[in-house]
Amino acid sequence: MFNTTVAWITLRATLSRRRALLFALPAVILILLTVALKASHPPMQLWPSHVLGTFGFSVLIPLTALIIGTSVLGAEIDDGSIIHLLATPVSRSAVVMTKFVVATGLTVVFAAVPELIAALISGGGSVPGPGDAGLVPIGAGTFAVALFTGALACSVIYNAVFVMVSTATTRAIAVGLLYVLVWEVLLSNFVSGVKLLSVSHYGLGIANGLASDPALEAGLGVLTSVVMGAIVTVVALALAMNLLSSFTLKGEPA
């Protein structure tokens, strides 16, 4: 199911495009922001959970996954070069799985690892203690591992979804942006049921399960997040494989 030649071509293609520069931009912003806040704030503040939870899971990870996930297959479908992969005996399932693995790997490098680095720089989160206890610290290690695990889960699920979207439409970026900005950011604040189909909330749910922090509260438990995330990933990949198996080239009508 994994083809090293397809992976090598995909990696070369993705990193050689100009939009590859965009991958690193949100990560750089997150790390710089963390460094600036760390320098300007005393220890034991709530900002690490807000910045790394809200900005990280609502902006950094989804946008990085969107750019990468729609590039690995969508860009080749758009410019027609995908035909050189598809006119070989390599199964379409292997093409989808390989593209998905490469996209997930790149998203981990450009989003999950920066999230981990930023969490370590921040020195860990803090949560309000019971009664007048003030803020109770969450150790930097626990905090970073929780965020990194949530980010890993998001990287996997988002890429399955965005690879599928890029096989279904040539406007994958627009569709992905609508999903992230309208569904996840806007609607999930007003309609709680929306969170059940929100990838960023799965990630936050998993992170919150490892380091209990109200700022990472996703409205979803760990179990729900893991089960829903697994279902969405499997369904999205199965759909992508089926769509790519029926990939068509349009001829000119007479």
Partner 1 sequence: MTTIELRNVSRWYGNVVAVNDVTMSIEPGVTGLLGPNGAGKSTIMHMIAGFLPPSRGELTIGPGSSWRNPAVYRQVGLVPERDSVYAFLTGEQFVVSTAKLHELPDPAAAAARAIALLDMAEAANRKIATYSKGMRQRIKVAAALVHDPEVLLLDEPFNGMDPRQRLHMMDLLDKLGSEGRTILFSSHILEEVERLSGTIQVVVAGRLAASGDFRAIRRLMTSRPHVFTVRSSDDRLLASILIGGTTAGRSAVTAVELTRAGLQVRTSDYGAFCRDIAVLARDHGIRLREVLPADESLESVFAYLVAN
Q: Minimum distance from CB of 155 to partner 1 (Å)? A: 25
Note whether 131 binds partner 1 by CB under 8 A: no
Is 253 one of the binding residues for partner 1 (CB under 8 A)?
Answer: yes
Q: Rounded to an integer, what distance in angstroms lies between the CA atom of residue 233 and that of residue 18?
A: 28
Q: Which of 84, 178, 192, 214 binds partner 1 (CB under 8 A)?
A: 84
> How far is CA 116 from its chain centroid?
14
36: left (phi over 0), alpha (psi -120 to 50) or beta: alpha
Give min distance, CB of 117 to partner 1, in A: 29
Determine, following the binding rule CB under 8 A, whether residue 252 of this chain makes contact with partner 1. yes
Site string for partner 1, 89-128 (x = CB under 8 A): xxxx------------------------------------
Q: CA–CA separation, 221 vs 215, rounded Å?
A: 14
Site map (CB under 8 A) of partner 1, residues 60-79, x = contact: -------------------x
Q: Does 6 bind partner 1 (CB under 8 A)?
A: yes
Buried b (16+ CB within 10 A) or exposed e, 140-160: bebbbbbbbbbbbbbbbbbbb
